[in-house]
Chain A
Amino acid sequence: MNTILVTRNDLLLLLGFTIAVLAMPIWLQPFGAAYPDLMQRFAIYGIFAIGFNILFGLTGYLSFGHAAFFGVGSYAAVWSFKLLTMDAIPALVFAVLISGLFALLIGYVSLKRSGIYFSILTLAFAQMSYNLAYSVLTPITNGETGLQLTLADPRHLDQALGISSRSPALLGQPLLGYAGFYFCAGLLIVAFFIAQRITGSPFGMMLRAIKSNQTRMHYTGFNTRPYTLAAFVISGMYAGLAGALLAITDPLAGAERMQWAASGEVVLMTILGGVGTLVGPVIGAWIIKYFENIFSAFNEGILHRTFDFLPDGLEDAVVLVTSKFVGEGWHLTLGLVFVLIVVFLPGGIMEGVRRLVHWARRPAEPGRASPRPQPAE
């Protein structure tokens, strides 16, 4: 493998991404989203979506049960806080390992099938985990209340070292506010970097080959299982990492994180942003989390002020209609946008951007025939 894996474009993309993430507190200011709590969630769900895309985007296997790994990651992190230490690093390692193991188990079984069966198998496993977390596994998950930190937690490692911190910390530095955000942002960049390396590597090429024609891969005497399983486990670990980060920023884990709705959300994020692209899923995650936060805060009062310039009767009508799409009804908007995206723009926002760029460039260079390079057969 002596080929150059890092091209200039890759480096530029990574650099641009790093700057965009680290500068979030600045460029999100005008959008009213520059507070650590929300930006943390941007980073966390960005990681989740990047990981999901490694499976769905590269191999084409649509998992409807990824929230299970997210939830397992959260539980593992909280247990690490309870039993070992309030430090974030053991919690992350623990969560990634456990969710990786969990993904190995589920992936081994689910990947025996493909297509819709794979989707249903993963959905079945996620629902099983969710139902069990609510019922029999209550000693581990604390059921409906959710797993919380208590004063009686042993925290063996902390006790041995004589630390008595009560909130998640990184080497003694409490992860609150901006510290928490930069911690998550750092991990998001690392996660992005790893995903970029995977996509560019021969391994990533294999995965994409599986997506485009698995049968041909089989006919050439190629066993695809280890590759799909590896992709599944990696993406499960990403989900576990994201789940653990959510538990670190707020040490509480509930079973609803594993429900199919949560699995559906990450699918929405990835599709909205652009399946199979590196940046797309992250953008999808940001957009969904942003509008979830902003839209759901809209109420009729704000709407009335927004549409103040309209005549009274018209204003009331407009407010009545729009109020169905914001606030409580923001999921309706999300669903509609999602349907439109799948129908008209299956490549998501990234494809939209590409088309726009393509459209803007064409009139400038009328002489060029097809700017898109044709792949060699």
Chain B
Amino acid sequence: MFEVILLQFINGLDKGGAYALIALGLTLVFGTLGVVNFAHGALFMLGAFCAVTFQKLITLETVTVDPSQLSPWGTPVEVREPLVQAWLGDFGAVLVNYSVPFSLLLAIPVMLVIGIAMERGLIKYFYKRPHAEQILVTFGLAIVLQEIIKASFGANPIPQPVPTDLRGAADIGVMLGLNPGIITYPIWRLVYFLFSGVVIGAVFAFLRFTTFGMVVRAGMADRETVGLLGINIDRRFTIMFGLAAVVAGMAGVMYTPLLPPNYHLGMDFLVLSFVVVVVGGMGSLPGAVAAGFLLGILQSFASMTQVKALVPGIDQIIIYLVAVIILLVRPRGLLGRRGVMEA
């Protein structure tokens, strides 16, 4: 029984990691700028497509027809050679193999630019407008972004390869002293969980231990006073928006091997992430992270056959159900501050 519970527990970790990362970004934006960003899921999707683009770029290849060699059915053999491999040799091969993690290098600057452009170009005009209008304009923006992706990459999911060394499953049970073969876990999902942990840790450390982070936290608590102290808080908040976009983008990049990205990936995750934010408490960063993992794990438990036999369909609705209960019983969410968005 213990093994079963443990297995479901870790099964929920990677999804929980993705929820936590997206919810973290949403909360950062809400906490700093006070904007409800329905386009945040689209940022996750854009990140995923950074990985797709990078992979496409890196696997550009030359095709030469070699008439001296014949394939078994008598046509000349096409020799394909990836350009990267031709230029960079072994390193190129590694690059192709590890295209997904390496696309983080592309995704970080791209997402930063997109995030800042989005904030400066559109969202800054909506600080003072009601939440309903913020939802509407970011919803429209999300449609635009996903349609652009659809127009450039097509509507079908594009699978991304897992690096060869990280394929297969790890036997976690053995590490914990259990019999082998009971708890095996795909390595990439483990990687994703660790990755999300690192990113979350980095964001918290950034806010906690740097002067910039301190100013941002002060601004979240009392924007006006920080402004009166002669600090340009708006610029810092813009950068935080960019940072939130980067977090969402990185979450998207690393998620591509688990779920082939298509253009509506973002919306699928957005709905869930909003639920996560609400459960954690609007504006509470630890709440967003905790709720992300909690809901990921709950979902994994709800997908167990025994549970499904008990309550049919529970795996489909568990997250929403939890959100409804939390919203009604504890309006400010699990870790929400008293008085923040309790109405």
A binds B: yes
Query: Footprint of B on A, CB under 8 Å?
Result: 60, 62, 109, 112-117, 119-121, 123-125, 127-128, 131-132, 134-137, 260-261, 264, 267-268, 271, 324, 328-329, 331-332, 334-336, 338-339, 342-343, 346
Query: Chain B, 237-281, contact with A by CB distance < 8 Å: what is the 0/1 string?
Result: 000000000000000000000000000000100010011001000
Q: A128-B320, A324-B151 known; A331 and B143 CB under 8 Å? A: yes
The answer on a CB contact under 8 Å between B267 and A128 is no
Q: A335-B140, A335-B147 known; A123 and B274 CB under 8 Å? A: yes
The answer on a CB contact under 8 Å between A117 and B144 is no
Nearest chain A residue, comparing its CB with the CB of B325: A109
Query: Chain B, 113-149, contact with A by CB distance < 8 Å: what is the 0/1 string?
Result: 0000000001001000001110111011111100110
Q: A116-B135, A117-B327, A120-B278 known; A260 and B320 CB under 8 Å? A: no
Q: Which residues of A contact B143 (CB under 8 A)?
A: 264, 331-332, 334-335, 338
Q: Which residues of B contact A123 (CB under 8 A)?
A: 271, 274
The answer on a CB contact under 8 Å between A343 and B125 is yes
Q: Which residues of B contact A343 (CB under 8 A)?
A: 122, 125, 137
Cα distance A335–B147 when bound, in Å? 8
The answer on a CB contact under 8 Å between A117 and B313 is no
Tell me if A's interface is mostly helix, strand, loop or mixed.
helix
User: Taking the nearest CB of chain A, how far is it from the CB of B26, in angstroms?
Assistant: 11
User: Taking the nearest CB of chain A, how far is it from the CB of B15, in angstroms?
Assistant: 16
Contact of A339 among B131, B140, B317, B323 (CB under 8 A): B140
User: Taking the nearest CB of chain B, how far is it from the CB of A208, in angstroms?
Assistant: 15
The answer on a CB contact under 8 Å between A131 and B133 is no
The answer on a CB contact under 8 Å between B136 and A336 is no
* Chain B interface residue count, Cβ-Cβ cutoff 8 angstroms: 38
Q: Which residues of B contact A60 (CB under 8 A)?
A: 132
The answer on a CB contact under 8 Å between B148 and A264 is no
29 A–B pairs (Cβ distance < 8 Å), ordered by A: A60-B132, A62-B135, A109-B328, A116-B36, A117-B278, A117-B327, A119-B135, A120-B323, A121-B327, A123-B274, A124-B275, A124-B324, A127-B271, A128-B317, A128-B321, A131-B317, A136-B316, A137-B313, A260-B267, A260-B271, A328-B151, A329-B150, A329-B151, A331-B147, A331-B150, A332-B147, A336-B140, A339-B144, A343-B137
Contact of A120 among B125, B136, B274 (CB under 8 A): B274
Cα distance A290–B320 when bound, in Å? 35
Q: Which residues of A contact B331 (CB under 8 A)?
A: 113, 117
Cα distance A51–B275 when bound, in Å? 26
Query: Footprint of A on B, CB under 8 Å?
Result: 36, 122, 125, 131-133, 135-137, 139-144, 147-148, 150-151, 267, 271, 274-275, 278, 282, 312-313, 316-317, 320-321, 323-324, 327-328, 331, 341, 343
| Among B132, B133, B151, B282, residue most surrounded by chain A Cβ atoms (within 10 Å) | B132
Cα distance A264–B274 when bound, in Å? 16
User: Taking the nearest CB of chain B, how far is it from the CB of A138, in angstroms?
Assistant: 10
Q: Which residues of A contact B321 (CB under 8 A)?
A: 128
| Among A114, A117, A328, A331, residue most surrounded by chain B Cβ atoms (within 10 Å) | A117
Q: Which residues of B contact A134 (CB under 8 A)?
A: 316
Q: Which residues of A contact B320 (CB under 8 A)?
A: 124-125, 127-128
Cα distance A331–B323 when bound, in Å? 31
Cα distance A343–B139 when bound, in Å? 12
Q: Which residues of B contact A332 (CB under 8 A)?
A: 143-144, 147-148, 151
Nearest chain B residue, comparing its CB with the CB of A62: B132
Cα distance A339–B328 when bound, in Å? 32
Q: A117-B327, A124-B324, A328-B151 known; A342 and B136 CB under 8 Å? A: yes
User: Taking the nearest CB of chain B, how far is it from the CB of A137, in angstroms?
Assistant: 7
Q: Which residues of B contact A268 (CB under 8 A)?
A: 140
User: Taking the nearest CB of chain A, how far is it from the CB of B166, in angstroms?
Assistant: 32
User: Taking the nearest CB of chain B, how far is it from the CB of A341, in angstroms?
Assistant: 8
The answer on a CB contact under 8 Å between A335 and B144 is yes
Q: Which residues of A contact B323 (CB under 8 A)?
A: 120-121, 124
Q: Which residues of A contact B343 (CB under 8 A)?
A: 113-115, 117
Cα distance A109–B321 when bound, in Å? 12
Cα distance A114–B183 when bound, in Å? 44
User: Taking the nearest CB of chain A, how far is it from the CB of B151, in angstroms?
Assistant: 5
Q: Which residues of B contact A338 (CB under 8 A)?
A: 136, 139-140, 143
Cα distance A269–B217 when bound, in Å? 39
Nearest chain B residue, comparing its CB with the CB of A341: B140
